[in-house]
Amino acid sequence: MGESCDDFNEARVEPWQLTLKKGDHFVLFVQPGVTVYGHVLAKPYEFVLLCKGYSAQVPKGEEKPIEPRFIDLPLTKKQFELARRCGWPGEMPSVRMIIGMVSPGEV
């Protein structure tokens, strides 16, 4: 008892998720076949990111607040742009290919 909401949220967040900032890119797996590729527009609160997310279902994107703990993986800008050029693929084999196609030396 005595634990605050911030303490609870912080315990569920990975350290890399807390470092996400304006301009960063990420991937969020919503359900099988639905993957959201996003970028951070702002960080209005410690545990809230204002993001624009894109998917095959919403290719023009949509702005929403997201808690960092729900973000599955960080992406480089090159990975994000590759996902855009590929039409925001949602199936896991395509996502793995996008993540693997950009080598660490290119980021």
Using one digit for the tens of pLDDT, what is the confidence trace for 17-34? 999 999 999 999 999 999
Range(s) of the domain holding residue 30: 5-106
Phi then psi for residue 95, to 5 deg, are: -65, -45
Backbone dihedral region for residue 42 (phi beyond 0: left; psi -120 to 50: alpha; all else: beta): beta
Count of domains in the chain?
1
> How many angstroms separate the CA atoms of 90 and 85, rounded?
13
Using pLDDT thresholds of 50, 70 and 90, give the confidence band for residue 106: very low
Using pLDDT thresholds of 50, 70 and 90, give the confidence band for residue 107: very low
Using pLDDT thresholds of 50, 70 and 90, give the confidence band for residue 50: very high
> How many angstroms separate the CA atoms of 11 and 69, rounded?
10
> How many angstroms separate the CA atoms of 103 and 94, rounded?
16
For 28, other C-beta atoms within 10 Å of its C-beta total 17
Using one digit for the tens of pLDDT, what is the confidence trace for 60-77? 999 999 999 999 999 999
